[in-house]
Structure 1
Amino acid sequence: MILIDSRQTRQVMDTACLIQQIPAPTFHEDQRAAYALKQFQQQNLTDPHLDAAGNALACVKGQPGVSPLVISAHLDTVFPLEYPLPLQRHEDQIIGPGIGDNALGLAALLHLPRLLQQAGIFPEGDLWLAATVGEEGLGNLSGIRQLVEQFGDRPLAYLSLEGMGLGNIIHRGLGVDRYRFTVKTSGGHSWSDFGAPSAIHEMVNLANRLLKLRLTRRPRSTLNIGTLQGGTSINAIAADASMEVDFRSESAVALEELVKRALRAANGLERPGVSVETTRIGWRPAGAIPASHPLVQLVASILRSLDISPHLDIASTEANLPLSLGLPALTLGLTIGHHAHTLEETIQLSPLSKGLTALVHFVARVWKT
């Protein structure tokens, strides 16, 4: 069996640490995209370019007439441009915001052509590598949407890489719907206009109604009020307020029903002097391939050969988009990590060689499934 050694693993980790220091909040991935493009160019890959969405792409050429494989890793992080990006390197772990999600995934993508070459593996079909934008937050999967528009149903599969989650085979896409609720009133003075509708009071009322909605357990559904803001002064009746809510479900039908009930609750606040606006700000469609699918079985077999117990899972990742269209797609993690989306985000180094080995074996065997 081909194994990735400690030198190769260290090279990937060095690149991940460099990437982690490049700010890349959603909608501001330009610096990382430029770095990825330069790496593609330096490896003399075919057709390195930035597409219309801002994705950085390149191709490892395979045989003509064979279905291509598309492997992606998202560029963006959840941290704002001005956010500190400390990094701590220890003997068997690295700590820093964004190191696992997704500096490591991107580093593995950039090193994959070298790893394949060093292992003597040549893709049977074209292997397209894509460093993608818009995976986090309100990016609405804009990067992978562009890829699916470009490649459609021609690829053998779409594979998304994440730095964390080694052992997880994400073959089901968790449906996500996101809305901004805005309430407007005439406002006024807290004393002389007391009794006039307050946008904040109305929004708190709406939040309370949403939190009382019944959520299905099977399929599992959730909602989260992520932001709530409004008003101008402590002694002014608020004339406007807004709230952003994230709805999720394992079932597309359950998600649609949950959102319908939330919208009815919002519309129920409308009355003279109180207006309510609802705006969809994000949507990640649900989808899946069965556990029996050859892609799932291939990855499970590879993981078992590395003494890793495969865990079939559901999550909201780039794979959502192709899965929702009935296209074969998976998301794979490369090592074990903790505390994602925090200053204490941590990845373990010792499992990484197995994660990289699994990735290389997937490329070597996927055309034979």
Structure 2
Amino acid sequence: MEEILNQLPAFVEQISDIREIIISNIVLIGQIPAPTFREQRRAERLVERLADFQVDDCAVDDFGNPVGIIRGRASSKSAIFIVAHLDTFCETTSDTLYTVTDKAISGMGVSDNSAAVGVMASLPEVFRRLGMVFESDIVLVAPVHSLGPGNLKGIRQLLKTWPTPVRGAICLESVELGRLNYYSDGMIRGEISCSIASEKKMGRHHQPNAILIIHEVIHAILKLRLPQKPRTQIVIGKIAGGFNHGQEAFDASIGFEIRSDSDRMVRELYGDIKDIVNGINKSFAVDLKLSIISHLNATQLAYNHPLVKCAARILYRLGVEAVSEPSETALSIFLQKQIPAITLGLTRGNHFHQDGAMVEIEPLFKGIAQIPALVAAMDSGMCSHE
């Protein structure tokens, strides 16, 4: 491991030498819109870029996931996955324009997760410039249908059908450099919508107001008692309703998320919220509906697992402080399947999920240097309990 750590300064310098290739890939791929369930054009562009860099095998699979394979020297070795989700929160379907300066790349979706996808497309050239050849197959995949209602379906389907063993996985997120995730909370993300039936919209002296009914729901949720242990949280992150300042609202909704390191607590709280919705629905005689958008089980790689320890040592040698938090990335799907995995951040950025989203260029080279160092450690068996 010490030999790999000593190479890190050279890695950073050599990666910075192909700055233009990396930036070009981020821009060429990121400017193509990829809302969840509509990622086809971006998937095809990514496969084209991987082919340009002479990846041994690359194609879009039957589920729509773009996959590239760099063949290793030993076919008996289990594959190492490098993953960056393809879709973004942006709902636009027309091409966006990225702005590149000496210090930053700006544009919708660049910080989640277009920069990471562009970096992944550049990895064959990174490995080539560093003179790195591996025993294991290196599988580059940008799963589709990851965010929100996609519920990580792309990576779930890929791992369900993958024909050979998987040694481990590195999940890439554009930000934040220093991110080192190795566990996932249990989670249910849901929506509660209120709609006033058409026969109640007219001809009533006191019409129900959907916004006020949703307020009753929020008030009841906030009264729920949450334990300090297991660590548990309910976040109400979205609210919408009405269409005119002077008219009772006929429709309103909220989006919420239950998080806990206990799956049992997540299920219990969802049951409590379901009871709240049913009770208020009967009280006001409206159409109040509860639906699940996505869900995850709580999973964890031990903090002293060799993969986590290797990644932490790499960050330390790069002069970057490691920060660990729960992750809702493909990490959780790998861990559910007993495949060691971590999530890494690649650079620093601002204004996530907004028009002014940006990522910094200079920290990116340290962020990318983590990848060949960690892959080399995994390939040599340093990151395994075996």
1:14 equivalent among 9, 20, 24? 24
Do the aligned partners of 2:79 and 2:136 also contact (CA within 8 Å) in 1?
A: yes
Aligned with 1:161: secondary structure?
A: strand
How far apart are the structure 1 equivalents of 2:256 and 2:108? 24
- Aligned pairs for 1:202-241 (under 5 A) are 202-218=213-229, 219-229=231-241, 235=247, 238=250, 241=252
Select between 107-116 and 273-282 the one with higher mean Cα deviation: 273-282
2:143 equivalent among 124, 132, 137? 132
TM-score, normalised with respect to structure 1: 0.90
> Shift of residue 234 of structure 1?
5.7
2:293 equivalent among 270, 274, 281? 281
Residues 163-217 of structure 1, C-alpha deviation per residue, up to 9 Å, x if partnerless?
Answer: 1121111101133212232445544566841235555443332232223333444
* Residue 182 (structure 2) pairs with residue 171 (structure 1): yes
* Residue 131 (structure 2) pairs with residue 120 (structure 1): yes
> Shift of residue 363 of structure 1?
1.2
How far apart are the structure 1 equivalents of 2:365 and 2:325? 22
TM-score, normalised with respect to structure 2: 0.86
How far apart are the structure 2 equivalents of 1:252 and 1:270? 27
Indicate how the Cα distance of structure 1 residues 9 and 150 shifts in structure 2: closer, same or farther if over 3 A, else same: farther
1:72 equivalent among 83, 96, 105? 83
Aligned with 1:158: secondary structure?
A: strand
* Residue in 1 that maps onto 2:277: 266
* Residue in 2 that maps onto 1:320: 332
How far apart are the structure 2 equivalents of 1:306 and 1:233? 55
Which structure has greater strand proportion? 1
Letter of the aligned partner of 1:309 in structure 2? E
* Residue in 1 that maps onto 2:4: none
Do the aligned partners of 2:78 and 2:164 also contact (CA within 8 Å) in 1?
A: no
* Residue in 2 that maps onto 1:293: 305
1:38 equivalent among 37, 40, 48? 48
* Residue in 1 that maps onto 2:267: 256
Letter of the aligned partner of 1:15 in structure 2? N
> Shift of residue 279 of structure 1?
2.0
How far apart are the structure 2 equivalents of 1:192 and 1:212? 35
Indicate how the Cα distance of structure 1 residues 100 and 198 shifts in structure 2: closer, same or farther if over 3 A, else same: closer
How far apart are the structure 2 equivalents of 1:42 and 1:93? 25
- Structure 1 spans left out of the alignment, 5+ residues: none
How far apart are the structure 2 equivalents of 1:358 and 1:28? 31
How far apart are the structure 1 equivalents of 2:228 and 2:107? 34
> Shift of residue 133 of structure 1?
0.9
Residues 33-90 of structure 1, C-alpha deviation per residue, up to 9 Å, x if partnerless?
Answer: 0001112222332331212321101211111111111111111111112578343322
How far apart are the structure 1 equivalents of 2:259 and 2:110? 26
Aligned with 1:311: secondary structure?
A: coil
Letter of the aligned partner of 2:166 in structure 1? P
How far apart are the structure 2 equivalents of 1:237 and 1:94? 41
Aligned with 1:193: secondary structure?
A: coil
* Residue in 1 that maps onto 2:165: 154
How far apart are the structure 1 equivalents of 2:132 and 2:93? 42
* Residue in 2 that maps onto 1:339: 351
Number of residues of Structure 1 aligned to a counterpart in Structure 2: 368
> Shift of residue 360 of structure 1?
0.9
> Shift of residue 221 of structure 1?
1.3
Letter of the aligned partner of 1:337 in structure 2? G
* Residue 319 (structure 2) pairs with residue 311 (structure 1): no
* Residue in 2 that maps onto 1:87: 98
* Residue in 1 that maps onto 2:3: none
